[in-house]
Amino acid sequence: MNKQYNFERDVKFLTGRGALRNATIIMSNMGCRKVLLICDEESNSSGKYKKVLRKFNREVNIVAEYKKVKEIAACEDCENALRLFKEGDCDSIIAIGDKSAIFVAKAVKIMLKDNVSIMSNYLSCAVNSISSLFLPLIVIPTYLSSGVETSNYIRLSMQDGKIIELDTPFAHTNVVALDPCLCGKSRAKEIASSGLCTLAMAITSLLRNDDANTMVKVYALNAITLLTDNFKESVIKKYSVKRRFKIALAAILAGCAYWHSPHMVLTKLTNVICDVSGANFNDVFNLLFAKGVMVVDLTADFDMYTIVNLIGENEYVDLTGEKSSEQIIKNSVKKYYSELGKYVKYPRTLEDLDVTDEMLGKVMEDMSAQYDGKSLELIKKIIGK
């Protein structure tokens, strides 16, 4: 046996008006009787947590709540949440909020599956490659979505500053509920950042040496279509809930495609730069992607003809004049970035994010220890070192 099995049904997406209400029905069908709620501090203080509770109160039996997850998820949060889960004799988890709350919820799920109570010990203790413990995890994103909702990826910081990264099918999300009532007001800059990040994740997941999995293609294309149809308007009409909702949905789908295809170099590089400089993940990721697309020799590694055929006709794809498939993709990415630049100021270089040369030196040291050969060459080209 060389695969890991979790025996759970694949993820279920509930989207649109009434998604929260329907989530309660689906949870009840899945046998959720006692629920642990995990939420980040920002969603709690902004009132979104209460909004969800108002919809849930009558139908869902919430027996424990953990609302203290900070911007960066910590192992301590996981252990505290796990204690609450056990004290309340819970049988399911709801994660409300951004990335960090989702990471904590997923970590609690895998700790329960492997019967580990201290997260920092997980890597040395967990050996199971199958687990049939069914523990429903429902994710309710409250911001413009970070794309990790349906991933199997977890990133936690330990007390000594070290980072734990896991990618396991046991951190599987069962249900994602995206309700427009949670897609509250956002600044144009945030929408732009989230939208570009979506584009970056979708295109990156299509750029693969081997033929991508059908589901990856489906999620990525769906994200690109939703983004193309709504991006400009969502930035101009920033109070349009409908547009923002569609961008958030695109981000979830793009994340789904991205995290199910192996593109860890770009993610790792972004994470290291963010750790060193404290910059926003999405902003750094967008910059690195834009640079990456331009410097990589796409024709050498990828079937660009198929990718253009997959993306299909949209306003950012220009077929006029004699062009190669590679040129079409590069031009279309450029057009996305430049069109958006007309309406909103977003960071265009790493200097705009206060990333200094010294910091980049540290990043290169770190990356050199992990990568070599072609990957390291690519990293050097992307960050210009």
Partner 1 sequence: MRYAEFSNGTKIIDGESGLADLHILLCGLGASRVMIVGDRELIDSGYLEKVKKGVLDGDKVDIGAVYLGDESLGVDDVLKDMYFVYMSNDCDGIIVCGGGRLIDYAKLLRLAVTTQVKDVRSFFSSSSVGRKVINVPLITVPVKFGIGNGCNAMALYYDREKKLSRNIFNDLLSPDYCIIDDSMLMRMSKSSLAYGVLNVLGRAIDGFVAIHHARVGIMIKEVDVYDIGEVFCRVVLTNFLDRAKSLLEIGDKDRILKMALDSAYLAKGLDVNGMGMIYSLALAISDVKGIGFARCLPTAIKASLDYNLRACPDKYAQALWAFLGWEKYSQYDKAKRAEGFVQAVKDFVDGVLQKYIPDHVAPQFTDDERQEIVTAMAYDPHMLNNPRHFDIFAIKAVLK
User: What is the rounded CA–CA span in Å between residue 308 and residue 286?
Assistant: 21
Q: Which of residues 7-66 bind partner 1 (CB under 8 A)?
A: 7, 9-19, 22, 29
Q: Which residues contact 221 (CB under 8 A, 6 or more apart)?
A: 202, 310, 311, 312
Min dist. Cβ of residue 70 to partner 1 (A): 32
Residue closer to partner 1 by CB (options 293, 304) is: 304
Q: Which of 113, 155, 208, 217 binds partner 1 (CB under 8 A)?
A: 217
Q: Which of 33, 50, 162, 242 binds partner 1 (CB under 8 A)?
A: 242
Bridge partners (DSSP) of residue 40 are: 69
Structure token pair of residue 115: 């019967």
Number of H helices, E strands in the chain: 16, 8
Chain centre to alpha carbon of residue 344: 23
Evaluate whether 259 touches 171 at the Cβ level (below 8 Å): no
Min dist. Cβ of residue 358 to partner 1 (A): 45
Evaluate whether 304 touches 326 at the Cβ level (below 8 Å): yes
Stretch that binds partner 1, among 270-278, 291-299, 305-313, 346-354 (CB under 8 A): 305-313
Residue closer to partner 1 by CB (options 150, 270) is: 150
Min dist. Cβ of residue 43 to partner 1 (A): 21
Other beta carbons less than 10 A from residue 353's beta carbon: 17
Q: Which of 262, 312, 341, 384 binds partner 1 (CB under 8 A)?
A: 312
Stretch that binds partner 1, among 74-82, 116-124, 210-218, 335-343 (CB under 8 A): 210-218
Residue closer to partner 1 by CB (options 18, 88) is: 18
Which residues in 293-314 are b (16+ Cβ under 10 Å) and which e?
beebebeeebbbeebbeebeee
Judged by CB under 8 A, how many residues of this single chain contact partner 1? 43
Min dist. Cβ of residue 308 to partner 1 (A): 5
Contact between 308 and partner 1 (CB under 8 A)? Answer: yes
Contact between 209 and partner 1 (CB under 8 A)? Answer: no
Q: Which of residues 70-129 bind partner 1 (CB under 8 A)?
A: none
Q: Which of 59, 211, 351, 372 binds partner 1 (CB under 8 A)?
A: 211
Closest CA to 125 of 106, 112, 143, 141: 112
Evaluate whether 378 touches 273 at the Cβ level (below 8 Å): no
Phi, psi of 3 (to 5 degrees): -115, 160
Q: Which of 127, 300, 319, 369 binds partner 1 (CB under 8 A)?
A: 319
Residue closer to partner 1 by CB (options 212, 350) is: 212
User: What is the rounded CA–CA span in Å between residue 10 and residue 368?
Assistant: 37
Structure token pair of residue 332: 């279309």
Q: Which residues contact 88 (CB under 8 A, 6 or more apart)?
A: 34, 36, 63, 64
Beta strands 153-157 and 163-167 are antiparallel
Contact between 310 and partner 1 (CB under 8 A)? Answer: yes
Min dist. Cβ of residue 52 to partner 1 (A): 17
The beta strands (E) that lie in 266-356 are given as none
Contact between 313 and partner 1 (CB under 8 A)? Answer: yes
Evaluate whether 149 touches 97 at the Cβ level (below 8 Å): no
Closest CA to 282 of 174, 145, 175, 107: 145
Contact between 137 and partner 1 (CB under 8 A)? Answer: no
Q: Give the max Cα distance, the chain.
A: 67
Stretch that binds partner 1, among 53-61, 227-235, 302-310, 367-375 (CB under 8 A): 302-310
Q: Which of 180, 195, 255, 292 binds partner 1 (CB under 8 A)?
A: 180
Q: Which of 3, 58, 185, 342 binds partner 1 (CB under 8 A)?
A: 3
Interface residues toward partner 1, by CB under 8 A: 1-3, 5, 7, 9-19, 22, 29, 130, 132, 180, 211, 214-215, 217-218, 221-222, 225, 241-242, 245, 249, 305-306, 308-310, 312-313, 319, 325, 328
